[in-house]
Each structure stands twice: as C-alpha cells, then as structure tokens.
Amino acid sequence: MRLILASASARRLDLLARIGVEVAAVDPAEIDESPLKAERPVDYARRIAAAKAAAVAPRHAGAVVLAADTVVAAGRRILPKADNAGEVAACLKLLAGRRHRVLSAVTVVDADGVARHRLSTTIVTFAPLSAATIQAYADSGEGIGKAGGYAVQGQAEAFVRFLAGSHSGVVGLPLFETRALLITAGIPLG
C-alpha cells in the first residue's frame, strides 16, 4: 500500500521513519491556513489537517494519504508559524514562564477514500526566559517556520520545564495516534 505524505516537513518524514514507515511520495497541500474568526485552536488544528488530506487525496487514488497540523495555543490564542526572528521573539515572550498547549491533529484517508482523524494534546510549560535568552534563540533562526516560534527537538528543549503528552506531537506528528490511524488504513507496521 502506497503512503502519500501531504506535507513538506522533513521532521514528519523523520518521525515516520522512526516507526518504520516508508513514504512513497511527498505532496504538500496548498491550502489557506488562516484561522476563522473566533475559531478555537482545537477546531483549527482539526480543520487544517482534514483540509490538507482532502486537498491531496484526490490526486492519489488507491493510496493512503497522511496529513497533519500542529498548533501552539496560549489560552484561546493560536500562535503563528514564525516568519522571522521578531515573531519568534514575540512568541517566546508570550510563552516564557507559562503553560501552553500543543495540538497535533492527524488525518489519514485510506485507499477507499475514508478519512479518519485523531488529535494529540500536549501541555508544555516553559521556564522563565531572560530577554537575552529570547533574543539569542530568535537570532539563531531555529524557530523560524515553526508553530509557536520554537523547535522542541532543538535548542528550545532546554526551555521546557514540564511536558505532559506527546513529545513527537510537539515536534510535529504524534506517533502513537499516527501509528493507530495508519494500521487502520492498511499500512503494515510491526
């Protein structure tokens, strides 16, 4: 059974490889990822993962399509995928010394076109961060393009005082939920 990854994320490819999943093709979805007015972070994550899968599945009849979306939420606020060092710094200022949620939604469309969904919620608490630490991290460039402006698998792991949930979900693909969906869709896993 062919598996198509509806994402250009190298992190997601690496995470899938950890559980022995080979991807036949990478076909990123080109969709509008703007949040809807008053949309809750959990609804946003689910909607975007489902929309990515729905956009890519018709191009790969008979294959299994995997799509995901990871959202960093501070309360009801959806933090952006930081486009530059200034946005990284703004996100870290908001998250420093606080608890936040990382929501990772996964949608798998099986070879028959049936879509199944799972959501992973992880609670992360950052230690208080000095202005110098925030600026140094922002200047490193590591948080650019990352939800919430940080990469937990990199230098930002040192900021995490507490994590309850899926570490791989914070990286970008919750492996427990993903594995269950892929097995249900007919992808053989040990």
Which residue among 14, 32, 43, 69 is the active-site one? Answer: 69
Q: Any idea what DSSP says for residue 134? A: H
SS3 category, 88: helix
Which helix (H) or strand (E) segment is 125 a member of? strand 115-126
Amino acid at residue number 169: G
C-alpha distance from residue 138 to each of 2, 101, 127, 151 (Å):
39, 21, 16, 11
Largest CA distance in the chain: 53
C-alpha distance from residue 176 to each of 76, 120, 138, 170 (Å):
25, 9, 31, 13
Contact 109, 157 (CB under 8 A): no
Give yes or no: 32 in active site: no
The encoded tokens of residue 189 equal: 């896993």
The encoded tokens of residue 165 equal: 């949930």
C-alpha distance from residue 180 to each of 66, 106, 143 (Å):
12, 11, 30
Question: So which residues are the catalytic ones?
Answer: 69
